[in-house]
Amino acid sequence: MSTEKKNWVYEAKPITVARGVGYGMMDLMGGGWNNIVSGVIFTFLLAQGLDPSAAGGVTFFARIFDAIFSLFFGTITDEFYKTKLGKRFGRRHFFIFVGGIAFAIIFPMFWFPASTFGLGGHEFWYYLLVNIGMEIVIAFIMIPWETLPTEMTEDYNKRTVLSGSRMFISATGTAIVFFVLAILKHIGNDNAYLITGLIYTVIFVIAIFISWRTTWERPLNEDVIAELESRPKLGFVGAAKKSVIDYASTFKNKAFRKHLTVYLLSFTGKDFYSTLLPTFMVFAVGSAADFPWVLQALSAFGILSTLLAAKLMISKGPRFLFILAYSGILLSLVGYGVTYATHSLSNVAIWAFIIISVVYQMSRAVLEFTPWNVFPFIPDVDRIMTREDRAGIYAAVMTFFRKSTGALASAIAGILLTEIGFKSDMISGKVPVGITHGITLIFILGPGILILLALIASFFFRLNKETHTILKNEINRLEAGGSKEDVTPETRKVTEALTGHPYETLWPETPLSLQIAAKEAAAKK
């Protein structure tokens, strides 16, 4: 069955820079939301009267719920082409459209006091439920959207146009989030969070629907439907079971285990920093309420270091970038501590915090750039282990653990602040010295320990341009019918180091999925 000829959802168009921007507009919301979660929500909830542990718990429980939901939602969108709605509106675009409408309704609710809806005294449950709703809505939008480059084109260079546009627009979203809040805080507006939330809503909804309208999906012609129908009919329970098995199997990949360790430690450290920076600056340092958001808005400098990282990735490799990023962040954290210990909030101290924050934000951008630019090499390590292309599975595992560990940052930060006696109703400048010292130690040591561990782990990361070339050449040789007995000593050493398995077990005669299917068939007999 084919779709209607004039349905724009299935009309492919030339991919230009302008269309790349149209696609990338979605990450104005995606990047903006991630920074709201890690850098704004915790402080906002403290302002609503929640104690630190409760404020951290709101983000933690919502993100854990979302992480589990997101694991299986991709399967739902894959199968949605079978429905009338999926055929008419697109199996991806239908969810983006519904999610965009729901976003426009739910997102502003988060920024109103709970008392607005007659829920005064139940702030924790109000913000938790709204936050869970937001995470589900954003999953409705982002998961289908992230599949669109594959739907829109098979050309590598054109996909690069799409992903490159996304990267810069995401950085813009980050800057917008903090610039808007900094301005409103600076003018002393009592409704700064509410007004900012409403401004976010307008900007993000426009971005969602621009991206929705300027993208498309593969036409559901007879060939495409035949390919989709040829896939095993597992049902939701069967698909969920298969997903769990697939996800667990990724941990047999030694290069991936190392990559995931570095990725999670560094990103959780980054989230810890973003969560606690406002508390540190306002309550420990005694800065004005707008100053932390000014420092966060310096994330715009990250665009420059991202451009530099793209060149260094080719000439120096990922390990160099990991060391560069983590060293810069550790140096910044030391700088915050020294400035705190000697500060008097003079102009010199203010400029010191600004310079330190520029260094941090440029290092943070490299931290974020490197793992996802290493990621395309990881499925090749898996391929020589399984004889299959499982890039989507690895991306899902990274996303799941990223959301889970990111949630921990706010939760742990909130618990630690509660333990040292910090309360949300404390007034800047009147916090006991013992508590200000405690806030500073948590702010510096929390991300510092995680980043230091990531730095140490990065020294053991062996996947780079040279080792990947050796790996890829071996895969090509074996695919062409080459004998495993003809492997060179260097290739054997490299492939065993990357996979963590003896060479003899690599490139199995039967692909992994067929092995699993055979075991299940045997178990049913």
Q: Please state, in angstroms and rounded to a whole number, the distance separating the CA atoms of residues 359 and 214.
A: 36
Q: Return the residue matching tokens 């004889």.
A: 387
9-231: CATH topology is: Growth Hormone; Chain: A; (1.20.1250)
Domain with CATH 1.20.1250.20 in the chain: 9-231, 251-525
| Region of residue 194 (phi > 0: left; psi between -120 and 50: alpha; otherwise: beta) | alpha
Given a cut of 70, the residues of the chain with pLDDT beneath it are: 1-5, 74-75, 78-79, 154, 156-157, 159-160, 163-164, 167, 220-240, 344, 392, 513, 516-518, 520-525
Task: Report, in angstroms and rounded to the nearest whole number, the Rg of the chain calculated over CA atoms.
Answer: 24
CATH architecture of residue range(s) 251-525:
Up-down Bundle (1.20)
What HEC string does 302-332 produce?
HHHHHHHHHHHHHHCCHHHHHHHHHHHHHHH
| Half-sphere exposure in the Cβ direction for 172 (13 Å, CA) | 16
**How many CB atoms sit inside 10 A of residue 446's CB?**
22
Backbone angles phi and psi of 51, in degrees to 5: -75, 160
| Per-residue pLDDT, 38 | 82
Rounded to 5, what percent of the chain is helix, strand, coil?
80, 0, 20
Q: Please state, in angstroms and rounded to a whole number, the distance separating the CA atoms of residues 41 and 174.
A: 14
Q: Please state, in angstroms and rounded to a whole number, the distance separating the CA atoms of residues 33 and 86.
A: 27
| Per-residue pLDDT, 195 | 93
Q: Please state, in angstroms and rounded to a whole number, the distance separating the CA atoms of residues 293 and 185.
A: 8
pLDDT in tens, 132-189: 999 999 988 988 887 788 788 867 567 667 766 776 787 777 778 888 888 988 888 8
pLDDT in tens, 251-287: 999 999 999 999 999 999 999 999 999 999 999 999 9
| Per-residue pLDDT, 282 | 93
| Per-residue pLDDT, 199 | 93
| Per-residue pLDDT, 228 | 58
pTM score, two decimals? Answer: 0.83
| Per-residue pLDDT, 210 | 95
End-to-end CA distance of the chain: 37
Q: Please state, in angstroms and rounded to a whole number, the distance separating the CA atoms of residues 241 and 72.
A: 10
| Per-residue pLDDT, 264 | 94
Amino acid at 182: A
Q: Please state, in angstroms and rounded to a whole number, the distance separating the CA atoms of residues 158 and 307.
A: 19
Q: Please state, in angstroms and rounded to a whole number, the distance separating the CA atoms of residues 377 and 358.
A: 31
**How many CB atoms sit inside 10 A of residue 473's CB?**
12
Backbone angles phi and psi of 90, in degrees to 5: 95, 135
Q: Which long-range contacts (CB under 8 A, 24 or more apart) does 239-248 make?
A: 239/72, 239/75, 240/72, 240/75, 242/516, 243/71, 243/72, 243/75, 243/396, 245/516, 246/390, 246/393, 247/71, 247/393, 247/396, 247/397, 247/400
